[in-house]
A and B are shown apart, each in its own frame.
Chain A
Amino acid sequence: MQPGFFVEDTAFRTNVREFVRATLPVDLRHKVLAGGRLEKEDYLSWHRILFAQGWIAPNWPRVFGGCEWSPVQQHIFEEECALAGAPGIMPFGIRMVGPVIMKFGSAAQQQRFLPRILSGEDWWCQGYSEPGAGSDLASLRTRAERRGDHYIVNGQKTWTTLAQFADWIFCLVRTATSGRPQEGISFLLIDMRTKGVTVRPIIMLDGEHEINEVWFEDVEVPAANLVGEENKGWTYAKYLLGHERTGNAGVGQCKRWLAELKALAQHQPGNDGRPLADDARFRDRIARLEIDLMTLEVMNLRVLALEQERHAPGPEASMLKIMGSELQQALTETTMQALGHGAAPYPQPLTGRYLNFRKATIYAGSNEIQRNIIARHMLGF
């Protein structure tokens, strides 16, 4: 009488743990654990190792080269990788555009793009947001005009994560201006090397280059790169956002951060000279974080199980997004505070992480927008 999702798959966990221990390059592991900024090649080297093992797409069906793992297995895999200090798998191909192409793309698109997503040959980025279209994404204005067997794209995307590494960008573009704003949007795949595409860096509050502006000036895109039907892009876009949100819980990463915080508290002196770990007030703060993490973990498993049952993400993913991002922020904040004045020197990974993760409640649909979604789709307002 055990709920299915609490049953530990020990054999699977051991298998994953041993594989990660044997294959994760030591210097990469150290770089991740030290909180250093990762280069493109850092992400890709781990991506290729997982690809070679056939483990790069835990959530994909087998016919497309995925693992089709159970929710518990996906959860264990993520956790083991994160705890071991493996870099995260970039979501843009595996979690975002991949599922869209699988569900709505043509057979030709599936054959062309999916294998290269799996192998890591193509790095994708997400071209949704624009300066005038953030939360109100449907107001986007980047235009694509059909000319023969091409589209001509003009406009600007912004906040585009790691576009500086990208080979391809999947874009929401406006192909019609009549009717509701949602009805004139199409989903277009654009080669970043096409003439007229320009990437300009945006420096974030932690001093790092993680996001960009992407400009399009008379960019010619083959009509064959349109996913699904013209003007139906909004449906595909929303499907993708569901996948994005579930992926955002970041349970494994939170576990590693909590472990780091605990280790820090055990040697960081408190105000009476004894370790912070002996300070009742600080202990309570860590205890609360750990309890929130336990909660997030069970929530994550419940939502994954539900998605598997329904074969699609639902509004519950919004609950995960809120809980996950708020916990990430609480962990980064408490860790920085544990350093006392030691948090001040700049640059410094732990302070940098706190600064950087203010993003978590903004991206992938701000937490206010997630509450709107919950109110509308789960509570019927």
Chain B
Amino acid sequence: MYSFTGEQQQFRDSLQRLLREDYPFDRRRGIARSASGWSVETWRQLAEVGALALSLPEAHGGFGGGAMDTFLVMEECGRALLLEPYLSTIVLGAGTVARAGNEAQRAAILPAVGRGERQLALAHYEPGSRYALDAIACEARRDGAGWVLSGAKSWALNGATADQLIVSARTAKGPSLFLVDRTAAGVGVRDYPMYDARRAADLQLDRVHVAPDALLGEEGEAVPCVAAIIDTAIAALCAEAVGAMAILLETTGQYLKTRKQFGTPIGSFQVLQHRMADMLLETEAARSMALLAASRMAGAPPGERSRIVSAAKVRVAEAARHVGQQAVQLHGGVGVTDELPVSHYFRRLTLIEMAFGDVDYHLGRFGRHLFDTQPQ
């Protein structure tokens, strides 16, 4: 099977140790109830072990890691059911800045992100867009040399705690990206918890004035850029899901070996053993596709990248649903309680299943090019 380099393994071990020791489930429960929904202390620790800077460019204080490194971090995030905004700040936020930003923007933002001192959020989806990436109604009008932004954004992950928002809005040349301070005049933020205990925000932009250098990337080029970033986010989520599924498999297996009914551990019942075998099969299928997506993230032309990411998302989403639902079922009554971690993993997997496009969406996107290449 794929073996990570020695360096990568060391890194994974230190991250795993950190999360095992400092992120027990009871602590997580407290963090989830806190005002921001994530821990500044844990974020600082992640910065210290280098997890935040891992995938940032070397020129800007990062380690220049690739999608396989992100895979590794995200799998651990999934195992620990981490609440901290790695996906929003690092993968979506810093990823967009690194991809679209000019030198000055990169230098101003990325090193601070790597040190854990700045939070970013991507505000792209809108109330009417469902999963579509090109349905941008938000507007950006010229205002002297700067811009004025108006419109509504939805489901900006960790939007309420971000220092800077990356907002897509339509100019005369089409959808474009802008850096907007979360506290700028005219930005209305409605923060809400999701059913997996994480936070997202809906934004109201009411004539928000931004400077000329707020434009991120080329005017009119937001959609391909966001599409690429969301593909990396999906690949990352696939890895997170694999980590979460592995934990469900472990804990459900242990439960079946200890819980007794009819005078025997329920794991002695073949019907339950076969469910577990299928859960393992699903998890390994998901891992295969998550690895494939991560390994093809760099270098593949956009069409091929999206095709593989959609395939991975379909397979991982179906595995996530299967493994999550079966883990709850095999625990019986305690499976549906808030008390056990099982239901929390299940909720996270359910959210991942729909995040950035559900099975139907990605099956459709995959199928659009099904007949492009003639059979050999």
Q: Which residues of B contact A294 (CB under 8 A)?
A: 289, 292, 308, 311, 315
Q: Any chain A CB within 8 A of the CB of B188? A: no
- A312 at interface, CB cutoff 8 A: no
Known contacts A283-B370, A287-B367, A381-B257; decide if A3 and B376 are in contact (CB<8 Å).
no
Q: Is the CB of A259 within 8 A of B376?
A: yes
A window 292-306: CB within 8 A of B: 292, 294-295, 298-299, 302-303, 305-306
Binds A, one of B163-171, B213-221, B265-273: B265-273
In whole Å, how far is B6's beta carbon from the nearest beta carbon of chain A? 13
How many B residues, CB 8 Å from partner? 42
The docked-state distance in angstroms from the alpha carbon of A293 to that of B214 is 45
Query: Smallest CB-CB separation from B288: which chain A residue?
Result: A298
Q: Mark B216-253, 1 if CB is under 8 A from A, else 0.
A: 00000000000000000000000000000000000001
Contact A290 to B311, CB < 8 A, known contacts A1-B69, A299-B284, A302-B2: yes
Instruction: Kindly identify which residue among A83, A259, A379 contacts B276, using a CB–CB cutoff of 8 Å.
Output: A379
Contact for A260 among B253, B314, B371, B375, CB less than 8 A: B375
Q: Please give the distance in Å from B80's CB to the nearest CB on chain A.
A: 23
Contact in complex: B367, A379 (CB < 8 Å): no
Q: State which residues 260-299 of B face A: CB under 8 Å.
A: 267-268, 270, 273-274, 276-278, 280-281, 284-285, 288-289, 291-292, 295-296
**Inter-chain contact A263/B281, CB cutoff 8 Å:** no
A5: CB under 8 A from chain B?
Answer: yes
From B5, B65, B288, B296, residue with most partner A Cβ within 10 Å:
B288
Q: Is A266 an interface residue (CB 8 A)?
A: yes
Instruction: From the candidates A2, A6, A262, A381, name the one contacting B375 in the complex (CB within 8 A).
Output: A262
Q: Is the CB of B256 within 8 A of A290?
A: no
Which of A260, A287, A305, A309 sits near B370, CB closer than 8 Å?
A: A287
Residues of B320-341 at the interface with A, using a CB-CB cut-off of 8 Å, are none
DSSP class of A's interface residues: helix, strand, loop or mixed? helix
Contacts of A259 in B (CB 8 A): 375-376
When the two chains form their complex, are residues A302 and B276 in contact, meaning their CB atoms are under 8 A apart? Answer: no
Chain B residues closer than 8 Å to A219, beta-carbon distance: none
B376's nearest neighbour on chain A, judged by CB, is: A83
* Identity of the chain B residue whose Cβ is nearest the Cβ of A299 in the assembled complex: B288
A18 surroundings in chain B (CB, below 8 A): none
* Interface check A121, CB cutoff 8 A: no
Please state if B274 and A375 are interface contacts (CB–CB under 8 Å). yes
B265 → chain A closest CB, angstroms = 9
Residues of B within 8 A of A3 (CB): 2, 68, 291, 295
Contact with B along A255-291 (1 / 0, CB 8 A): 0000110110110000000000100100110111011
Determine the distance from Cα of A3 to Cα of B296 in the docked complex, in whole angstroms.
10
Contacts of B308 in A (CB 8 A): 294
Instruction: Decide if B151 is an interface residue (CB 8 Å cutoff).
Output: no
Q: A291-B315, A298-B289, A371-B273 known; A381 and B367 CB under 8 Å?
A: no
Within 8 A of A (CB), among B32-78: 65-66, 68-69
Interface core residue of B268, B363, B375 (most chain A CB under 10 Å): B375
The answer to whether A266 touches B278 (Cβ under 8 A) is no
Would you call B2 and A305 a contact (CB within 8 A)? yes
- A263-B280 in contact (CB<8A): no
Any chain A CB within 8 A of the CB of B1? yes
B288 touches A283 (CB 8 A): no
B2, A4: Cβ atoms under 8 Å?
Answer: yes
Of the candidates A1, A287, A374, the one whose C-beta lies within 8 Å of that of B280 is A374
Evaluate whether A1 and B5 lie within 8 angstroms (CB atoms) in the complex, with A288-B314, A319-B284 already known: yes
Interface size class of A (residues with CB under 8 A): 35 or more
Known: A266-B371, A291-B311, A295-B315. Is A381-B267 also a contact (CB below 8 A)?
yes
Instruction: Report A-chain residues with C-beta under 8 Å of the C-beta of B278.
Output: 371
A263 contacts across to B, CB distance below 8 A = 375
Q: Is the CB of A371 within 8 A of B295?
A: no
Q: CB distance B273 to A375 under 8 Å? A: yes
The answer to whether residues A319 and B363 also contact, given A277-B371, A294-B292, A381-B273 and a CB cut-off of 8 A, is no
**A217: Cβ under 8 A from any B Cβ:** no
Does B131 reach chain A (CB closer than 8 Å)? Answer: no
> A17 — nearest CB in chain B belongs to which residue?
B376
A368 within 8 A of B: yes
Is A380 at the interface (CB under 8 A from chain B)? yes
A318 to B221, CA, bound (A): 48
In Å, the complex CA distance between A14 and B225 comes to 35
**Distance from B305 Cβ to chain A, minimum over Cβ atoms (Å):** 14
Whether a CB of chain B sits under 8 angstroms from the CB of A378 is yes
Instruction: For residue A274, give the distance in angstroms from its CB to the closest CB of chain B.
Output: 13
Cβ of B11 under 8 Å from chain A: no
Q: Say whether B366 faces chain A, with CB atoms less than 8 Å apart.
A: yes
Q: Are B363 and A322 neighbours in the complex by a CB distance under 8 Å?
A: no
Identify A378's interface contact among B8, B68, B280, B314, CB under 8 A: B280
Give the distance in Å from the alpha carbon of A1 to the alpha carbon of B267 in the complex.
40
B367 to chain A, nearest CB (A): 4
Contact partners of A286 in chain B: CB under 8 A: 367, 370
Contact partners of B311 in chain A: CB under 8 A: 290-291, 294
Other than the given A1-B8, A5-B1, 11 more pairs (CB < 8 A) read: A6-B291, A6-B292, A265-B371, A290-B370, A295-B315, A299-B284, A309-B1, A372-B273, A375-B274, A375-B276, A381-B267
Q: List 15 A-B contacts (CB under 8 A).
A: A1-B68, A5-B1, A277-B370, A283-B370, A284-B363, A284-B364, A287-B363, A299-B284, A306-B1, A372-B274, A375-B274, A375-B277, A379-B276, A381-B257, A381-B268
Residues of A near any B CB (own CB < 8 A)? 1-6, 83, 259-260, 262-263, 265-266, 277, 280, 283-284, 286-288, 290-292, 294-295, 298-299, 302-303, 305-306, 309, 319, 322-323, 368, 370-372, 374-375, 378-381
Q: Enumerate the 3 nearest inter-chain pairs by beta-carbon distance, A residue then B residue, closest first.
A: A259-B375, A3-B2, A375-B273
Binding site for A on B (CB under 8 A): 1-3, 5, 8, 65-66, 68-69, 253, 256-257, 267-268, 270, 273-274, 276-278, 280-281, 284-285, 288-289, 291-292, 295-296, 308, 311, 314-315, 363-364, 366-367, 370-371, 375-376
